[in-house]
């Protein structure tokens, strides 16, 4: 995905702030952006909340789950990975 690809996609009612490593906080605005982080930048490869977040975000992108359900699942995964700010 190129950086501008997230701008026209589904967006949550409020972004989720995360911080990976020593970087500054980053804001995740929707399920497509969340999937990119979950699959390519996440500090852990496995975890029950991580797996659920991936599923819920894909479902939201395919109109199979409410977008805010995906947001809550992403927040749980971020808490599980101890990167929620």
Q: Would 67 be classed as within a structural domain?
A: yes
**In contact, 74 and 28? CB cutoff 8 Å:** yes
Half-sphere exposure of 21 (CA within 13 A, CB side): 5
Mean pLDDT of 71-81: 97
Q: Would 18 be classed as within a structural domain?
A: no
Q: Which two tokens stand for residue 73?
A: 């699942």
Q: Would 75 be classed as within a structural domain?
A: yes
Q: Would 15 be classed as within a structural domain?
A: no
Residue 2 pLDDT > 50, yes or no?
no
Kindly report, residue by residue over 6-62, the tens digit of the pLDDT: 445 799 999 999 999 898 999 999 999 999 999 999 998 889 999 999 999 999 999
Show the DSSP H helices in the chain as ranges: 31-40, 48-61, 67-80
Q: In terms of pTM, does the model score above 0.85?
A: yes
Domains held by the chain: number: 1
Compute CA 15 distance to the chain's CA centroid, rounded to the nearest angstrom: 10
Domain that holds residue 37: 28-85
């Amino acid at each position: 995905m190129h950086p501008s690809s997230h701008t026209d996609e589904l967006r949550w009612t409020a972004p989720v702030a995360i911080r990976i490593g020593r970087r500054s906080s980053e804001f995740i605005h929707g399920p497509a952006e969340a999937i990119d982080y979950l699959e390519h930048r996440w500090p852990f490869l496995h975890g029950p909340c991580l797996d659920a977040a991936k599923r819920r975000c894909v479902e939201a992108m395919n109109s199979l789950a409410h977008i805010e359900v995906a947001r809550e699942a992403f927040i749980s995964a971020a808490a599980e990975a101890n990167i929620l700010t």
